[in-house]
């Protein structure tokens, strides 16, 4: 009886420890996926994003210390990039510390220091909540005739002050002009932030869905929310990913989505029918719904000048920056000698201007490597992130860069995680 009672206490203790570990693992995952959102807010001592990374550090480190072996090869290009940008224009301790923190979490993702399933699940939960709130904001604005503010503007950092009016009204742009359309963004500061956050979640959800109807409906709902945000990048991305799905993944082509050219693509009449239906629906909405027409016009035509578009506006400044480079500066960049933090410039131009063509090659090394190694959703996610780097600086900025790379690294980590799971099952048997 005593032995049985003692065994019961041991089992109860183990169950409690496992429950506590799962709770801490889930909490750590949520903290990390919220960093791109909290980076613009004041924390207790410093930036809230930095404080959240520090908060996630102890448990992540403890998980890593329990591992028998570690993998490094996948993040080697990222480590070389960190060293390069820290030294190329003179040693920068602040840059090195920042990059080492990012490398720690990259290392944690591929070595089970962060639970990859809970990490993606947390990001998906945040995205779905934001999608629901976009719909709520639309209801409040067009039915109740009031803007529902969800981002606490009073807590924004001084460097994020340009978003205060947009957060407060949904109509005043970062330049101070009043926009012709309502642009909700849930608890993000602007629609482009909202859309950028959705890219890994929607890519992995839709292109890993197979015949899972739940995932398909989740993807439809997430896509609709991105369109409602009126983000030009977001609408372009949604159109691209659904075309990919219908061509490479739908019906008979469901198993052919590994890489371009890996399988023959069959013309599926149902898929073509859906494409035609989407085009007809798009045309109907454009002709009959005013705010939808305004959103589309913003993507393809600048409403102020009548020329250019929202995406072109993010690349024209970068082209002007490139004209300032020549000789050695073209090779290694100009560093911080010219302030460009306030310029509307894409990540590609930002990297090349600061660190030269050599820096650009080092930066994209990880992504090119991933293109040749990864399959299915993670291959396309890499394509999307690389494409995104030509229209927004967020692929270079620390927190969103970490967010994107951690999602891509899930593909590197998942085979090893499966091997660990199988090994534990064999040991238990």
Both 239 and 281 in one domain: the answer is yes
Alpha carbon distances (Å) from 8 to 3, 15, 16, 19, 428: 9, 10, 12, 16, 18
Region 396-408 average pLDDT: 93
Q: Say which range, 130-139, 309-318, 376-385, has the weakest mean pLDDT.
A: 309-318
Both 287 and 411 in one domain: the answer is no
Both 289 and 419 in one domain: the answer is no
Which pLDDT belongs to residue 244? 85
Region 376-385 average pLDDT: 90
Both 279 and 325 in one domain: the answer is no
Copy the structure tokens of residue 316.
């024209």
Q: How far is residue 424's CA from residue 403's CA, in Å, rounded to a whole number?
A: 29
3-state secondary structure of 100: helix
Q: How far is residue 141's CA from residue 276's CA, in Å, rounded to a whole number?
A: 32
Both 381 and 327 in one domain: the answer is yes
CA atoms within 13 A on the CB side of 149: 12
Domain that holds residue 175: 118-310
Region 182-193 average pLDDT: 91
Region 87-103 average pLDDT: 89
Going by the DSSP 8-state scheme, the letter that residue 259 receives in this structure is: S
How high does pLDDT run on average in the chain?
80
Region 351-373 average pLDDT: 89
Higher pLDDT: 195 or 173? It is: 195
Reply yes or no on whether the pLDDT at 192 is more than 60: yes
C-beta neighbour count of 118 within 10 angstroms = 18
Q: What is the pLDDT of residues 298-315, one digit of tens each?
A: 555 554 444 455 555 556
Both 371 and 389 in one domain: the answer is yes
Which pLDDT belongs to residue 393? 82
- For residue 256, what pLDDT band results from cuts at 50, 70 and 90? very low
Contacts of 418 (CB under 8 A, 6+ apart): none
Q: Percent of the chain having pLDDT more than 90?
A: 37
Please tell me the total count of domains within the chain.
3
- Compute, in degrees rounded to 10, the torsion defined by CA atoms 376, 379, 384, 389: 170
Q: What is the pLDDT of residues 326-355, one digit of tens each?
A: 788 888 888 776 666 555 677 888 888 888
Reply yes or no on whether the pLDDT at 215 is more than 50: yes
Q: Say which range, 46-55, 280-289, 302-311, has the weakest mean pLDDT.
A: 302-311
Both 280 and 135 in one domain: the answer is yes
Both 331 and 360 in one domain: the answer is yes
- E strands in 281-429: none
Region 99-113 average pLDDT: 94
Q: Say which range, 121-135, 180-194, 325-339, has the weakest mean pLDDT.
A: 325-339
Copy the structure tokens of residue 326.
């020549």
Among 268, 291, 310, give the residue marking a domain's end.
Answer: 310
Q: Say which range, 55-64, 82-91, 283-292, has the weakest mean pLDDT.
A: 283-292
Among 293, 310, 327, give the residue marking a domain's end.
Answer: 310
Which pLDDT belongs to residue 295? 61
Among 277, 310, 343, give the residue marking a domain's end.
Answer: 310
Both 95 and 136 in one domain: the answer is no
Both 124 and 222 in one domain: the answer is yes
Give the residues across from 172 on adjacent strands. Answer: 178
Which pLDDT belongs to residue 127? 96
Q: What is the pLDDT of residues 66-90, one digit of tens each?
A: 888 888 899 999 999 999 999 988 8
Q: Which of 231, 230, 209, 232 is nearest to 220 (CA)?
A: 209
Copy the structure tokens of residue 105.
């979490």
Q: Which of 170, 175, 122 is nearest to 145 (CA)?
A: 170
Higher pLDDT: 208 or 86? It is: 86
Contacts of 32 (CB under 8 A, 6+ apart): 52, 53, 56, 105, 114, 119, 122, 406
Both 44 and 79 in one domain: the answer is no
Cβ–Cβ under 8 Å, residues 195 and 372: no
Stated pTM of the model: 0.82
Alpha carbon distances (Å) from 375 to 101, 111, 184, 213, 412: 28, 20, 34, 22, 11
- Compute, in degrees rounded to 10, the torsion defined by CA atoms 103, 27, 29, 403: -80
Output the CA angle 272-277-282, nearest 5 degrees: 125
Contacts of 78 (CB under 8 A, 6+ apart): 102, 103, 106, 366, 405
Both 205 and 108 in one domain: the answer is no
């Amino acid at each position: 009886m005593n032995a049985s009672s003692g065994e019961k206490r041991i089992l109860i203790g183990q169950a409690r420890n496992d429950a506590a570990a799962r709770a801490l693992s889930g909490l750590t995952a949520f903290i990390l996926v919220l960093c791109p959102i909290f980076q613009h807010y004041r924390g207790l001592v410093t930036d809230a994003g930095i404080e959240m990374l520090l908060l996630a550090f102890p448990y992540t480190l403890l998980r890593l210390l329990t591992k028998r072996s570690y993998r490094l090869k996948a993040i080697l290009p990222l480590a070389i990039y960190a060293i390069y940008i820290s030294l190329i224009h003179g040693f920068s301790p602040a840059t090195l510390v920042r990059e080492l923190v990012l490398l720690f979490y990259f290392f944690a993702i591929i070595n089970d220091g962060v639970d990859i399933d809970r990490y993606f699940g947390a990001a998906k939960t945040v995205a779905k909540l934001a999608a629901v709130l976009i719909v709520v904001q639309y209801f409040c604005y067009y039915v109740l005739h009031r803007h529902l503010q969800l981002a606490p503007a009073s807590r924004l950092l001084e460097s994020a002050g340009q978003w205060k009016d947009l957060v407060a009204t949904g109509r005043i742009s970062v330049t101070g002009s009043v926009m012709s359309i309502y642009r909700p963004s849930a608890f993000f500061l602007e629609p482009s932030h909202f859309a950028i956050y959705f890219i890994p979640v929607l890519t992995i959800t839709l292109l890993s869905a197979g015949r899972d109807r739940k995932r398909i409906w989740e993807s439809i709902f997430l896509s609709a929310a991105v369109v409602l945000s009126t983000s030009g990048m977001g609408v372009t991305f949604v159109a691209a990913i659904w075309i990919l799905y219908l061509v490479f993944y739908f019906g008979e082509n469901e198993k052919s989505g590994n890489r371009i050219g890996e399988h023959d693509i069959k013309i599926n009449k149902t898929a073509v029918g859906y494409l035609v239906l989407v085009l007809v629906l798009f045309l109907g909405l454009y002709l009959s719904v005013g705010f939808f027409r305004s959103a589309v016009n913003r993507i393809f035509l600048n409403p102020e000048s009548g020329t250019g578009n929202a995406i072109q506006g993010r690349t024209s400044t970068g082209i002007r920056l490139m004209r300032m480079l020549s000789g050695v500066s073209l090779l290694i960049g100009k560093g911080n000698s010219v302030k460009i933090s306030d310029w509307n410039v894409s990540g590609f131009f930002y990297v090349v201007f600061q660190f030269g063509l050599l820096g650009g090659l080092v930066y994209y090394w990880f992504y090119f490597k991933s293109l040749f190694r990864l399959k299915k959703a993670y291959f396309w996610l890499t394509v999307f992130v690389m494409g995104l780097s030509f229209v927004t600086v967020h692929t270079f900025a620390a927190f969103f860069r970490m967010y994107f790379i951690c999602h891509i690294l899930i593909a590197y980590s998942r085979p090893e995680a499966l091997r660990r799971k199988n090994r534990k099952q064999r040991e238990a048997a």
